[in-house]
Structure 1
Amino acid sequence: MSFEAVAYQKALQVEAQYDVVVIGSGPAGICAAVSAARMGAETAIIERYGTLGGNLTNGAVAPILGSVSRGTLRDELIVRLGVPDSDETGVTQQTHDFEKAKRVLMDFAHEAGVKIYLQTPVVDTITEGKSLTGIVISQKTGMKVIRAKAFIDASGDGDAAYFAGAEFEMGREGDSLLQPVTLMFRLQGVEEDALTCIGELDHVTYKGERFLDYTTRLCREGHLPPNAASVRSFRTAVPGERVINTTQSNGISALSSDDLEKAEIDLRTQIDEVTDFLRKYVDGYQNCIVKSTANTLGVRETRRFIGQYMLEDSDLRTGRRFEDVVVHKASFIVDIHNPAGSAQAEGVPEEVIPYDIPLGSLIPKSLDGLVLAGRCISGTHRAHASYRVMSICMAIGEAAGITAALAAQKETVPREVDFHEVQKVLIERGVELFD
């Protein structure tokens, strides 16, 4: 297929200069921005939607899964959100209030002195040699440039890192397939004693049968969408509500506009089908109705960038410790939603030994001026399936914020920041960093 090429040249106004600029305000990005600002760095956060939070708000993802060591910003944030300190796989449930989170996260950032840009996608980058020196943003008044001494890419897809030419991988080994996308939704009108099921590790029974075996059987009989055999549900703080994590669209790249359109149509149809299934086949859901749906797709996997160190499957399996640790005791199952079918790609998910995430996994191998945060850090497909969850991403973001702020203070690039100094700040904040 051939495409017409258009030469385009335009002088862009430099909108502002900061010490640290964070792209994306999801769990990693919001913690990165607050972390950097609390270091005294003049910090801005660039968000493509109209509210902060990413999957904490627009994606309607809950509960806040995964666990890390004590003392990170994750602990502060769950208190602000008003949810209990959940176990890593969500057994204790209690999803946060997505509407409340929109205000709480704005306050969280403003109190730290973070400048917030909303409705502002990043559309390109400015590089000098192998160093990122600016980002191009799109606003109603046109495209502009924002410069910073150090950038943090917490966009999930690693947009800034990609535009700047950083090396990356996508998908699993062998076929490059990505984990499926999902649209979360919330039901009301559910009876309070109605069953909940958190996922494949949950052995809750229903009418003498393991609930997920029951839903899988009925899925094969055609009562659920083909890839939606695992019906996962969580309680909210409101009686009669459930958050549902079931819809699944396979073969989707969240980097493709055509695929995004296809997934939206597919998943919004699935929401109706799953709700109808619950009304017909699960006691206590007979009168449920859809109260709200996510504003954007829940994307589990796109680009994973090549860093100074790539977190390996074996690091999770052995609970590896690193000299340059910046996240301690990260823990969540190897949660690979099947890229080529329903439920889990590997049957029962592998459990991990709480592991460390090193600073080297946050530093791109071939690009200066940038720190990675969230699910786009350097790791294998299987390792990523564990560290991609929100509690771990929050802790990664906090460490990224400190690293970027130190780089700005020292007028150097993030890869030159001494990891001992990052660790010193984390420990001074009360973060448990070593056994």
Structure 2
Amino acid sequence: MRRTLVMIFLLGTMLPIFGQHQVDVLIIGGGAGGTSAGIQAARMGAKVRILEKTTWLGGMLTSAGVSAIDGNHQLPSGIWGEFREKLYAHYGGPKAVATGWVSHTLFEPSVGNKILKEMTSIPNLDIVFNAVYQKIIKREDIWEVTYTQGRKTESIEASILIDATETGELLPLVDAEYRLGMDSKSETGEQEAPDEANNVVQDLTYVAILEDVGVVKHRKGLVKKPRNYSSEPYACACKREDGEMFGAVSGCEQMLNYGKLPNSKYMINWPNCGNDFFVNWPELSASERMEQFKKAKDFTQGFIYYIQNELGFKNLRLAEEFPTKDGYPMIPYHREGRRVKGKTFLVVDHLERPYDFGLYKTGVTVGDYPIDHHHDKNPEAPEIDFINIKVPSYSIPMGSLVPRQVDNFLVADKNISVSNIVNGTTRLQPVVLGIGQAAGAIAGQAVLKQSKTSKVSIREVQRALLEQNAYLIPFMDVTPSDIGFGAIQRIGVSGVLKGYGVPYKWANQTWFYPERLVSEYELKTGLEPLYPKLDKLQASGAPVSSKFLIGMLQLLEREASFDTLKTICSSVGYRGAFSESTPLDRRMISILVDQLLNPFQFEVDYQGKLLEK
């Protein structure tokens, strides 16, 4: 008997422990998008689990070390805005994180990870670290995923699966159609695209974090000279000519201050004769990829050696920032991956001329960064002047997160349905946080309504996002603290009043001008597609007054009086002069029309076209 018990114990120690769980939403990848998706879905009441292969949350924000935020400084949308406020609280305000010239918001990766873990400590959200998925199967309407955590094997079932990996790893595994590399001009209609499609992906970077330790005698943090080291690739790192988009760099301290972080640390993610590195990862096996990533890391080590020894900055040592043996980030910084073929396909024309199309009406997050690609380390990449493709700030349509074939499956990172060119702006950290939040809202709404993700109401998803102060349309001059924020966002995506887009340096713009007056004709034109009866309304170029607005409402058989308008204005905190003849600005018209007509109620399809009731 004793011998039998010993054998059972030994078998138990040799075999993996197998367990099974059920959740509403399973997210693979705890990067910026996955973390944000998990927070949003859990807030909406869905039971969520995130599987993350490292011990950190944040992906490129933290685990890859890219802790200088690119873009959306004036668009603090939703969870991105919350994350930034927590950075301000930690460091002591906006000025305390404006330490490097590449960004308004820089932070230590370890601090970013800590904040994200605090933000995810909420009901309904469970995170499994060091979790590596092994098998994904769909049985009818249920996803079954097997994963390992150390020696333990687990199986979990979920109604909805979200791919929040850095490179769209799940797309081929679930038979979702996807694009990879540069799209052809014939497919996208983009005049800047190459004539023929190719599989060229952007250079990646193994980032490093250095710390200024001052004058010390020890050698800790000084890197070894890599095998086959040459200073030639880094020789022009401290010099760059002035240009329309890129300012001149005339010295090594200026180069280093590009990514200066709080607490005397430096992010080394320098594109100009720095540590970008080309890896043709899509065509490599898993072992070959790891070998190439090691070369990318060695190349960064060579750049650090160059900084410490040939430039003379021996005070800058490799910081103990990451929980890794070698001190480097846990993952490389991927700038692109596989991109799902979604219900909509966002291309440059949509960004350049949003009001010529209807996709802006389905917006679920926003971005303002220019189109920025990194191909300097790949001599075979076609020469395209990406950075000078001028676009204003933009909305990402909901259909770019929803695959056109596979249901109850969403994407939540750089793997959304956009062209290769557009990926150059949608890939940035605050945009991906917004993409993730939108994916979480779609999943959360599907769980609430017990529907498939492809059938979820776009307006209901947008409403859920607005409740979290997320932007649907990038009106930079109307922040969540504005009394009209929600109304203006709803009026904007309803197409009633439009914004004014401006391509501008490294922070593109869209202005709403809330204090401008609105002409009678402009308001009529904006509302008429939703309310055909307004074709009978006589409208001039004069500013809209309360009297005109009341007449318009009466034509639509809505009860309205001057006292009604005055009560609404008072309820939202408006303190300006108000009479029947007072011209109304865009803010007040948005608030009044939103409450009295509610044009946001009209459902739209993925292309932004009105659905019949």
TM tier relative to shorter chain: 0.7 to 0.9
**CA, structure 1 residues 344+113, in 2 after alignment: closer, same or farther (shift >3 Å)?**
farther
User: Alignment length, in residue pairs?
Assistant: 398
Identity of aligned residues (%): 22
**Contact between 1:312 and 1:380, CA under 8 Å: does it hold in 2?**
yes
What does the per-residue CA deviation read over 1:271-325, in whole Å, with 9 as the maximum and x for residues that have no partner?
232224334665x836433324222111112211100111112222334652211
Q: Which has the higher helix share?
A: 2
| Greater Cα offset, 376-385 or 77-86 | 77-86
- Is the counterpart of residue 310 in structure 1 residue 321 in structure 2? no
What does the per-residue CA deviation read over 1:189-212, in whole Å, with 9 as the maximum and x for residues that have no partner?
389xxx899x984313416x9x89
Which residue does 1:222 correspond to in 2? none
**Contact between 2:32 and 2:57, CA under 8 Å: does it hold in 1?**
no
* Residue aligned with 1:337, SS: coil
Shift of 1:13: 5.8
Which among 196, 200, 209 is matched to residue 177 of structure 1? Answer: 200
- Is the counterpart of residue 416 in structure 1 residue 455 in structure 2? yes
* Structure 2 unmatched ranges of 5 or more: 1-16, 184-196, 215-237, 320-326, 473-488, 493-613
**Contact between 1:235 and 1:242, CA under 8 Å: does it hold in 2?**
yes
**CA, structure 1 residues 13+366, in 2 after alignment: closer, same or farther (shift >3 Å)?**
farther
- Is the counterpart of residue 233 in structure 1 residue 258 in structure 2? yes
Shift of 1:141: 4.6
- In structure 2, what is the Cα distance between the partners aligned to 1:148 and 1:111? 19
**Contact between 2:37 and 2:439, CA under 8 Å: does it hold in 1?**
yes
| Greater Cα offset, 106-115 or 22-31 | 106-115
- Please give the residue correspondences for 1:22-101 in structure 2 after superposition, counting only pairs within 5 Å: 22-67=27-72, 69-82=75-88, 84=94, 91-101=102-112
TM-score normalised by L of structure 1: 0.82
- Please give the residue correspondences for 1:21-420 in structure 2 after superposition, counting only pairs within 5 Å: 21-67=26-72, 69-82=75-88, 84=94, 91-128=102-139, 133-173=143-183, 174-189=197-212, 201-206=245-250, 233-239=258-264, 241-245=266-270, 246-253=274-281, 256-279=285-308, 285=313, 287-291=315-319, 292-319=327-354, 322-328=360-366, 330-338=367-375, 340-341=378-379, 346-347=384-385, 349-350=387-388, 351-420=390-459
CA-based RMSD: 3.3
* Structure 1 unmatched ranges of 5 or more: 1-11, 213-230
What does the per-residue CA deviation read over 1:226-281, in whole Å, with 9 as the maximum and x for residues that have no partner?
xxxxx893110012644433312224216632442332332232223222433466
Shift of 1:57: 2.0
* Residue aligned with 1:315, SS: helix
Which residue does 2:24 correspond to in 1? 19
Report the structure number with the largest CA radius of gyration: 2
Aligned AA (2:171) = A
| Greater Cα offset, 98-107 or 374-383 | 98-107
**CA, structure 1 residues 289+19, in 2 after alignment: closer, same or farther (shift >3 Å)?**
same
Shift of 1:158: 2.3
- In structure 1, what is the Cα distance between the partners aligned to 2:391 and 2:257? 21
- In structure 2, what is the Cα distance between the partners aligned to 1:413 and 1:296? 33
Q: Which has the higher strand share?
A: 1
**CA, structure 1 residues 253+104, in 2 after alignment: closer, same or farther (shift >3 Å)?**
same
**CA, structure 1 residues 387+142, in 2 after alignment: closer, same or farther (shift >3 Å)?**
same
**Contact between 1:27 and 1:53, CA under 8 Å: does it hold in 2?**
yes
* Residue aligned with 1:202, SS: coil
* Residue aligned with 1:316, SS: helix
| Greater Cα offset, 312-321 or 26-35 | 312-321
**CA, structure 1 residues 18+196, in 2 after alignment: closer, same or farther (shift >3 Å)?**
farther
* Residue aligned with 1:159, SS: coil
**CA, structure 1 residues 237+163, in 2 after alignment: closer, same or farther (shift >3 Å)?**
same
- In structure 2, what is the Cα distance between the partners aligned to 1:420 and 1:315? 20
**CA, structure 1 residues 90+391, in 2 after alignment: closer, same or farther (shift >3 Å)?**
farther
**Contact between 2:101 and 2:257, CA under 8 Å: does it hold in 1?**
no
Which residue does 1:228 correspond to in 2? none
Choose between structure 1 and 2 for higher RCO, CA contacts under 8 A separated by at least 6 residues. 1
- In structure 1, what is the Cα distance between the partners aligned to 2:362 and 2:461? 9
Aligned AA (2:261) = T
* Residue aligned with 1:37, SS: helix
**CA, structure 1 residues 14+276, in 2 after alignment: closer, same or farther (shift >3 Å)?**
closer
- In structure 2, what is the Cα distance between the partners aligned to 1:240 and 1:432? 32
**CA, structure 1 residues 237+167, in 2 after alignment: closer, same or farther (shift >3 Å)?**
same
**CA, structure 1 residues 379+132, in 2 after alignment: closer, same or farther (shift >3 Å)?**
farther
- In structure 1, what is the Cα distance between the partners aligned to 2:383 and 2:309? 28
| Greater Cα offset, 231-240 or 359-368 | 231-240
Which residue does 1:431 correspond to in 2? 470
**Contact between 1:44 and 1:117, CA under 8 Å: does it hold in 2?**
yes
**Contact between 1:20 and 1:149, CA under 8 Å: does it hold in 2?**
yes
